[in-house]
Structures are given as C-alpha cells and as structure tokens.
Amino acid sequence: MPAPPGQDPCAPLRLAAAAAWQVMRARQVRDFPRVLGLLEAVGQAAPDVVFFRHYARLRLGLQAAVRGGQPPCHPASPP
C-alpha cells in the first residue's frame, strides 16, 4: 500500500526495526521469533541492507536463544 502524500514510506519498517531493537535490548526471549521473522523478511526483500555475515550471526544467535530459552551472550564491552 503506498504511503499517503507527505508521509515517510519507510515509517512502518522503522517502527518494526525500533520494536525489534527494544526486544533485543531487553533480551525478551519470548519475542525473539518475531525479530527472526523481521530479519528474514528484510533479508529476502532487500538483501543488500544487512551484510550477510551480520545476518548469519544474528540469525544463528537468535535461533539458538529461542531453542535454548536463553538470551544470546554478548562479549563484555570495553569501558
């Protein structure tokens, strides 16, 4: 569906990406399948948006977390 005149046509995608980021940030494992769905949809619709290496790491980490019920571990960030 085309966006109405004067509105950002990417607004729904930005909203979905922001929601996915909040899920990841809060480590809400129960919602990881939705993030996976968004990641796969973006990967199919616009494969050049996400580097394949990042896509693969994100996908594998999310799938492992969903199956194991644990959030993906992150290396400690430098101070």
User: What's the pLDDT tens digit per position in 17-69?
Assistant: 999 999 999 999 899 999 999 999 988 988 888 899 998 998 999 889 888 86
Residue 23 lies in a domain: no
Residue 50 lies in a domain: yes
Q: Which amino acid is at 23?
A: V
Q: What's the pTM value of the predicted model, to 2 decimals?
A: 0.71
Residue 43 lies in a domain: yes
Residue 21 lies in a domain: no
For the beta carbon of residue 19, count every other beta carbon within 10 angstroms: 14
* CB-based burial label for 62 (10 Å; 0-12, 13-18, 19+): buried
Q: What is the pLDDT of residue 8?
A: 84
Q: Note down the domain range covering 63.
A: 30-70
Residue 19 lies in a domain: no
Residue 62 lies in a domain: yes
Residue 61 lies in a domain: yes
How many domains is the chain built from? 1
Residue 39 lies in a domain: yes
